[in-house]
Each structure stands twice: as structure tokens, then as C-alpha cells.
A and B are shown apart, each in its own frame.
Chain A
Amino acid sequence: MWAERVAALGVPWFAAAAQCRREPGLAGRPLVLGGPPCSTHVGESRPSLLAPQSPKARGSRGVWGVLAVSAEAAAAGVRVGMTLAQAESCCPDLVRRPYDAVYLAQEHERLLAALEAHVAVAPGALGWALFRPPWPSAEERRALAWLLDALAATTGYLAVVGVTEGRGAAEIVARAAVGTRLRAAAGRPSGSPPPWAGTADPLGAPNAVAWVAPGGAATALAPLPAALLPVSAAMRRRLTLFGLPTIGALAALPLGAVQAQFGPEGRLAWLIAHGRDPRPLVPREPPGGPSAAVALDAPCAERARLLALAEVLLARALRAVPAGQGVSSIRLVAEIEPGPGAPATWEQRVVLREPTAAAEAIRFALAGALLRATPPGPIVGLRLELHDLGAPTPCQLGLFAPRATAGALAAAVRTLRARYGALPLRRVVALDPRHRLPERRYALVEAGPAWSP
């Protein structure tokens, strides 16, 4: 039984392409995005085989590390994970920019939103998405080409799409198209032609459709390298040691033998190789909670003013929350004044312990988050988004109403525990109330995770 047909759409060298959208002058130049290894990137995607430029590598020994490259830099031999010195030795004309994870996440979201205008999508790695082609098989290739053109017109990104049976196989086909494009850009022979070469050249046009006919996944995947399979590095290394260079070589083995050697991931790889990927594709719920934004006339670096601005935006955004609904998470995105080496955006997420529409409770959580982390520079714009709307958790009243102070204290304790995990509270214990030395009579101790007033 074949798996359902899935399309994997991605923008090759997405991070560099996004940076070029921000700075059009960088187009066509060898570009690397990176930063020091200690820098944290909010909202970055998890690494995936679909993202050859995904931020899975950090520079070593405290030096500037390459986290993403452009096609031109990749063609010159620059790779993710290199240090800046290594990258510049490969390509002296290299242009470098800081890796702005928040901006990239926004661009990824923009890409998904543009796709969602046509199909229901499941998000993939940064710059990638998966969806079920809703068109008849005979129309699929033409419809996908149209979709890529529409996406390019809407977002400005030139994408590649691979479509075949199962999400794993679709990802492999799309990634193979990206790899072929890289080899073509480097001016090297691309080896054996891809299986769709007889029908359409996915790399000949700006937008590439790597289309595999229904039922042809196993045949299409067979000549591709086994390194494209979504398996661990250890299994990939063992596949090489076993002398299995292609996906077809793995598919030719009995399932039992593969499973005995490689376990569950071996079974999944074997099923993908046969076009029988069992993993379902679950489209995401399109986001779109209330939000509010403000652009500042002058840069602001004061935490108090930032908090005041956030409160104003919160009040504005809360007006759009439907009656009877509460908010579970808040996203605060600040646009930072441009500076050398600093990302231009900063993001902070606040997750509430339960859905609420009470401005005071949300403001309290927001203030705590802003006290823990502040933007890396003066901000010139601020946007606040409310996410995960739902019905507020009902509160069961007790038969005998407790004292108001005890109830308020219990609520504060629950909030602190939800926010910090551990309880940052201390309580007074009597050591020896009749001791002659006053400092030996009472002490403060940690309240402990299970303490309640």
C-alpha cells in the first residue's frame, strides 16, 4: 500500500534569501549568516535534513561561526559550521551578516501564510513546508508550477517542491533537487540525472518542480544517495560501512534484516525507500490571534518605558479577544535600532499557566518576562501578539470561602510556580523562639515545590 501523496516545498538557502530580501544589494554575492557561539537565537527551527543551511552548527572555541550560507557561498565551498576564517579562506569576497533568528522566523511564517492561501500546510524546517496536493494527479505538476509562481509573486522567494508518496520521500526528492542545483551552481557535473529528468528539468527553471508519478516513489528514490534519508548520523555512517551507498540498495534488503540492524529508524528508512512512509501529515492550525504594534519616533532603551509600551499594546490587543475567551501565550517582538553585529529583531514569549483575559494577570506575567530579559539594544518598534486563545479555566469555589488574603496568596503562589517551575518563595520557620540570641530564634527557608499557604 502506497503512502499518501505529499509535497515538500522549500526555499533553498532560505536564511540567505531572506537576508537578501532585507538588503537587496546582497543578491548574487557570497553571503554567510552567523554569530558567536554563545548567542542564543529565539524561535529558530529545529535542525532537519531539509535545511542544509539550518542553524545546527555553532562556531567552536568562541569564534564567529557560520550558521547559514547563500548559494554563491555554498558554490565556493563554504559550509555551515565553519569558522569565519575557514569560510573566508574558501571565499575571500565573502559578505557576512548576523543570524537574525527572529526575522527568519517571521519570514518563515510569511511563507507559510502565503502557502495557506492555497493549501493546508504542515510546517517543516526553516523555509520549508509540507502539504497534500489537492489536485488530480494529471494536473499536479502544472498546479505546483503555478503555486511556485504565485508564491514567488507574493513573497519574492523562489522555491523548490518535491512531490511523491510519503512525507519522507517528498523531502528527499526536494532536497535532491536543491543538491543538484548546488552542484550546477558550482559548475560540477551532477552525476546521474534525477529520475524526473526525462519529463521536466527541475533546475532549468527558476522555480523547480521535482514531480514523481504516482506509485513511482521507490523507483525515483533508488538512485539517490542514502545520506538523504532522515536518519541519525550514526545510522548514516553504518549504512556507508555496510556498503549501502544508495536508497535503492537499502530498499533491496529484507525489512527484517534492516530492522534487526538499525531498529525503528531502520524500519522507517526502509518504508520511506519503498514509498510507504507511515507518518501522517497533520496540517497546522493557522495562527492569527489579536495583535497590536507601535513604531517609535525615537529609539527607546529604558526598561520602564518598554514595559509601559507593552501594557498599552496589551490593552489594545485585549480589546480584540472575543468575549468568554482567554489568552494562553503572548509574543512580544521588538525591532532593534540597527547596529553593527546585532540582530535587528528581538523576541520574548510568555506562556501563562491557564487561559485568561484578565489584563492584570497578563501584565504581571509580561512584567516578569521583561525583567528577566531585555532587548539587546534600543528599540524602534514593538509588536505584541496574543496566541492560543481558549476558554478560561473555571475556578471551583469552596464550600467555605477562605479568607481573601489566603486566596490571593494561593493564586500568587500558583502563578510563581507556573512561571519559574520551582517556587522562589521562602517561609519563616521557628528554630528556637526562646533563644537568648535574637538571630537564633527564627530563619527563612525555601518554601519547597509542594508548599501552599
Chain B
Amino acid sequence: MEPLNAPRPLAVETVATPDGPQPVGVRWRGRRRRVVAIDDEWRVDDEWWRVPISRHYFVVRLEGDRRLTLFLDRLAGTWWQQG
């Protein structure tokens, strides 16, 4: 069985804010693209009783009007693309 929509690692440039790091640019399909807007964001904290999961999701709009869903794994400090 293979899960659909599994996260893929993503190179993200961030800027520090009081709410934590926020994406300002990503390297997507071999090119650096600037984040022009953050359309949405939310937190997912789950499975604290097993292997804890803590993610900060962002729906960003890249230059060229491309939307991307990405998240920060708050426990590992890594960025992933999903969807």
C-alpha cells in the first residue's frame, strides 16, 4: 500500500517572525521562486501519544500565480511540499 499525497522535501527560504519562520522563497522545479503572498496557514498537532506530529502548514502563492501547499515540520525543522 502506498499513501497518496505523501510529503516531499522542499528547499525553502524563510524569514524569522514572532510566530516562527515564514516562507519568502522556494526552490521549485529547479528554479528559485519568490513567495508573493501567503493565502492561508494552520497548525496540525497530532498523535502526541505515539510519535508526535507538529506541522505548520502554509498555502503560498508564488510568482507566476502558482499556488503551493507546504509545511514546516516543527519538530525536525524541515520543510516539505504537500499537494
A438 to B4, CA, bound (A): 8
Is A442 interfacial (CB 8 A cutoff)?
Answer: yes
Q: For B83, give the chain A residue with the smallest CB separation.
A: A438
A391 to B82, CA, bound (A): 52
A437 touches B1 (CB 8 A): no
Q: Which of A390-447 contact B (CB under 8 A)?
A: 426, 428, 431, 436-445
Q: For A431, give the chain B residue with the smallest CB separation.
A: B3
**Least distance between A355 CB and chain B CB atoms (Å):** 37
A437 to B53, CA, bound (A): 10
B44 touches A439 (CB 8 A): no
Contact of B5 among A426, A442, A445 (CB under 8 A): A442
Question: CB-CB contacts of A133-163 with B at 8 A, as 1s and 0s?
Answer: 0000000000000000000000000000000
Contact of A426 among B2, B3, B44 (CB under 8 A): B2
A445 to B4, CA, bound (A): 10
Contacts of A445 in B (CB 8 A): 1
Contacts of A443 in B (CB 8 A): 1-4
**Least distance between B9 CB and chain A CB atoms (Å):** 14
Contacts of B53 in A (CB 8 A): 437
A444 touches B46 (CB 8 A): no
**Least distance between A149 CB and chain B CB atoms (Å):** 68
**Least distance between A434 CB and chain B CB atoms (Å):** 13
Is B6 interfacial (CB 8 A cutoff)?
Answer: yes
Chain A residue total in the interface (Cβ 8 A): 13
Q: Which of B3, B46, B82, B83 has the most CB of A within 10 A?
A: B3
A437 touches B4 (CB 8 A): no
- Counting residue pairs across A and B whose Cβ atoms lie within 8 Å, the total is 32
B1 touches A439 (CB 8 A): no
A440 touches B2 (CB 8 A): no
Is B21 interfacial (CB 8 A cutoff)?
Answer: no
A439 touches B7 (CB 8 A): yes
A171 to B38, CA, bound (A): 86
A441 touches B44 (CB 8 A): no
B1 touches A441 (CB 8 A): no
**Least distance between A143 CB and chain B CB atoms (Å):** 69
Contacts of A431 in B (CB 8 A): 3
**Least distance between B50 CB and chain A CB atoms (Å):** 13
A441 to B6, CA, bound (A): 10
Q: For A444, give the chain B residue with the smallest CB separation.
A: B2
A438 touches B1 (CB 8 A): no
A445 to B1, CA, bound (A): 5
B3 touches A442 (CB 8 A): yes
Q: Which of B20-65 contact A (CB under 8 A)?
A: 44, 46, 53
Contacts of A426 in B (CB 8 A): 2
A441 touches B5 (CB 8 A): yes
Contacts of B83 in A (CB 8 A): 438
A439 touches B82 (CB 8 A): yes
A426 to B2, CA, bound (A): 10
**Least distance between A433 CB and chain B CB atoms (Å):** 11
Q: For B6, give the chain A residue with the smallest CB separation.
A: A439
A431 to B1, CA, bound (A): 11
A428 to B6, CA, bound (A): 14
A442 to B2, CA, bound (A): 9
A139 to B21, CA, bound (A): 102
Contacts of B46 in A (CB 8 A): 436-437
A121 to B7, CA, bound (A): 65
A431 to B3, CA, bound (A): 9
Given A439-B3, A443-B3, 7 additional A-B pairs, CB 8 A: A437-B53, A438-B5, A439-B82, A442-B4, A444-B1, A444-B4, A445-B1
Nearest 10 CB-CB pairings of A with B:
A442-B4, A444-B2, A439-B3, A438-B5, A439-B6, A443-B1, A443-B3, A445-B1, A439-B5, A436-B44
- Some 21 contacts from A to B, beta carbons below 8 A apart, are A428-B4, A431-B3, A436-B44, A436-B46, A437-B44, A438-B5, A438-B82, A439-B3, A439-B4, A439-B7, A439-B82, A441-B4, A441-B5, A442-B3, A443-B2, A443-B4, A444-B1, A444-B2, A444-B3, A444-B4, A445-B1
Residues on A facing B (Cβ under 8 Å): 426, 428, 431, 436-445
